[in-house]
Structure 1
């Protein structure tokens, strides 16, 4: 369009805008005159209503455009409390070697005063190739085929301003049967001062979850769109816009790079033949280098507090998981101990009761020991109430318990026909095993003695006639019976 038509269109647009402004002003004056002619009470009513709506509108606008709060990292306990928990686990027989080694690695890296940067992302996004571009003079890192990085590799790199850093190449996530490798990669990401998250396109749901996970731990993060040379300019700009939206308030910078690497193509020869050619593509990583220099500018002194917090927060989760596993194993041992005691007590009884009323003292001791294991304070009244409720449950379900016991003992020739003593012994084993498991699960989840929840779980376990649990209890009954026969 030439200059004269553009000027004409601009003049028409200005004239239309002025006409709209005058029309709006005229309408506003007319409304103001009509408002002033109203009675005073109606003026106050309409004025208050308009003011209220104006305040509500301003509130909505503020909510839409208010500055968003920065993401709060996952809270991390102090190191002293973590070490105390690790010592307690060690005293209970848990394997805490990896946790202690993590604390040792935290101290070692702090002492080196070097900046560690981890390259993180799914397989086949070009992490290893990108490290080759960042550290071209380093020795071979790993096979660049997707999913072949099986361990963490550390490579010395250098920024354009002369500062050195340590690049960590970690296994790719979302690898088939690669849970252990993914755990290794996540732990190394927490140990690093900063993370480069590498993707090769729009973030998938799993990739977005990984980016949010890194953000939850407060990791300084660069989001890198690799293999950018395969997109047109418009496609690349659209992808970068999408990535910035998906990593808002998480990634410090989102840039597009091309790590280079090798590529193969076919070339037609003059005689009509086809030749396979492999060549190296030149990397284009200048935006990444600039962003990495800005991100690591504070150095180890500025980045170390965030790194230590992330490591301790990750250790807090790992210690919690090990505590849960250790308690579960200890609860299993306690339940099995009391099930065996119930079997021995039933076999020693001269005339076992047919109503299968639970042995009160034994049940109280089981409840008290499990509550102590899970750190739940219980009173004698609470224990008595819970046992009374369990007795009511057992009275209504005694026929089911006996039926399960009879069927289970048929698998052991000779045991099923030995009479009520063995039958009731197995029944008590099933009762105490069900009671202990129900109570342990309820205490672990509710952190209190919830009688209703534990009672519902007890009913479900008493009616469970299949699986390895019943077979193990039958075997336990058989072993106790044989030991009793030998002692007699």
Structure 2
């Protein structure tokens, strides 16, 4: 509490005590009178009642004092993350995206991937992927985790040539676990590059990645770790082959690795292990196989999977949904771009035809706005925006006014006139200039509206003027060819 709050509180306590004392004096006087008139029984009942009231008052003041004086504990915030709910919402959005894809084969391929993700939401095992540079002991770690020889172990690079998937159980983890042994990174050959790509793809699908190193982090290993963390992957870094180092060197290296990954991994997620210590010969001449030392890694994996396993699965599914959604969106964007370009081309020639058949002095902007209104409505439908014809007309008139204010109308008409002047003359020139100018202005308007709808019905920071000017610059180089093509379409046939 602040000082002034304490002052008010204490003043209230003092005032209460003063009033209490006055009440006590009055009650004592009343008690004396009753004792004299009514006897001891009635007087004692009154005294008992008074004492109960006084006790209640003291308890109430004590409670108030405790509530005011105790330190205020911040109310713990509920974690808003509900990854399983987010996955369901993402899957629903993804289904709507896929339904809009027109190419049947492409849609079927993406729907198959979608169905796999939807099925995995209920039954997907926890997927642990072992990743690391070649010959850091990944397969030896897998063999030790499984308690059997599951893969070939050799000092040469590229011993593991393809990913291998095994089943694993950890105490306290109810979900089934898939343990994936991947080919090594940085093998330095064409085949090795292909195997590395395979390993990275498996890592992208992992719920938890165990990144195996056998020394201080190489730059390439650090970059892999950075990439995985940027994807939001949970990573445990296993510092392997510690049996090859003296105890002091092992401790120094472990500390150094933890310092290098600070900000990417917690110190507890960097664990020293010896997955397959080499056998040694005792002084007696007998061979001795030291036991593997992966207990700390097992404890850490179990702790993570017990506490975060369900969220890791959901987060991984969410990432895969987002990646599939991005792929579907790119296909939709290209599909919409083709549809929108077809609409613009159709209406640019409609606009040219209207002006050619009913020529008026100058470019008839109102007629162009009428043509463009329907174009705007159809473009909106392509991008999932339902507009009435009145709304389309309002947008079209706004853009026509912008074209006029920017001097585009006059400039285009002048350029078209100069281009045709060498070969045409008289009445035909006027009609041709008007028609081709109308077609070109409709094209610029259509491309501007495509940008508007692509930006979720926003003209962006530069406003309508900025979008129109950008489209004018992008079309400027091809204007002479457009004029020639337009003339070939509208010129009278003999």
TM-score of the aligned structures, taking structure 2 as reference length: 0.58
Could you tell me which residue of structure 2 aligns to residue 319 of structure 1?
Answer: 325
Pairing 1:391–2:412 present: no
The one of 245, 267, 271 equivalent to 1:255 is 271
Q: Is the 8 A contact 2:363 2:438 kept in 1?
A: no
**Unaligned ranges ≥5, structure 1:** 1-39, 49-54, 263-281
Could you tell me which residue of structure 1 aligns to residue 18 of structure 2?
Answer: none
Q: Distance in 2 between matches of 1:463 and 1:237?
A: 60
Could you tell me which residue of structure 1 aligns to residue 38 of structure 2?
Answer: none
Gap change, CA 1:98 and 1:373, over 3 Å in 2: same
Pairing 1:307–2:270 present: no
Q: Distance in 1 between matches of 2:321 and 2:5?
A: 66
TM-score of the aligned structures, taking structure 1 as reference length: 0.58
Pairing 1:375–2:389 present: no
Q: Distance in 1 between matches of 2:130 and 2:155?
A: 16
Q: Distance in 2 between matches of 1:475 and 1:180?
A: 46
Q: Distance in 2 between matches of 1:371 and 1:189?
A: 41
Q: Is the 8 A contact 2:241 2:275 kept in 1?
A: yes
Write the mapping of 1:217-232 to structure 2, written as runs, cut at 5 A.
221-225=235-239
Could you tell me which residue of structure 1 aligns to residue 449 of structure 2?
Answer: 439
Q: Distance in 2 between matches of 1:244 and 1:372?
A: 50
Deviation at 1:288, TM superposition (A): 3.3
The one of 205, 210, 220 equivalent to 1:196 is 210
The one of 323, 331, 338 equivalent to 2:344 is 338
Pairing 1:461–2:470 present: yes
Give the 3-state SS of the residue equivalent to 1:246 in structure 2. coil
Write the mapping of 1:57-206 to structure 2, written as runs, cut at 5 A.
73=83, 75-78=86-89, 81=92, 84-91=95-102, 95-106=106-117, 115-119=126-130, 125-126=132-133, 129-135=136-142, 137-138=149-150, 153-156=163-166, 165-169=178-182, 188-189=202-203, 191-197=205-211, 201=217
**Unaligned ranges ≥5, structure 2:** 12-67, 144-148, 279-290
Deviation at 1:144, TM superposition (A): 7.9
Gap change, CA 1:296 and 1:478, over 3 Å in 2: same
Structure with the higher helix share, 1 or 2: 2
The one of 352, 362, 365 equivalent to 1:354 is 362
Q: Distance in 2 between matches of 1:252 and 1:41?
A: 47
Deviation at 1:475, TM superposition (A): 4.8
Describe the superposition over 1:318-377 as per-residue Cα deviations: whole angstroms up to 9, x where unpaired: 325523541454244323432343235425605365346261222111211222222334
Q: Distance in 2 between matches of 1:110 and 1:69?
A: 21
Q: Is the 8 A contact 2:413 2:433 kept in 1?
A: yes
Q: Is the 8 A contact 1:117 1:193 kept in 2?
A: yes
Q: Is the 8 A contact 1:153 1:170 kept in 2?
A: yes
Once superposed, what is the RMSD of the aligned Cα atoms?
5.7
